[in-house]
Structure 1
Amino acid sequence: MKQKQKQKQRITRITEGTLVVGVDIAKKIHVARAVPWIFVVLAWHKDCVFHSDREGLMKLTAWMTE
Structure 2
Amino acid sequence: MYTELILNNNNIMIIMMMMMMIMMMMVVVVGVMMMMMMMMMMMMMMMMMMMMMMMTKMTTTTIIKIIES
Q: TM-score range by the shorter chain?
A: under 0.3
Q: Which has the higher contact order (CA 8 A, sep 6+)?
A: 1
Q: Where is the helix percentage greater, Structure 1 or Structure 2?
A: 2
TM (norm. structure 1) is 0.23
TM (norm. structure 2) is 0.22
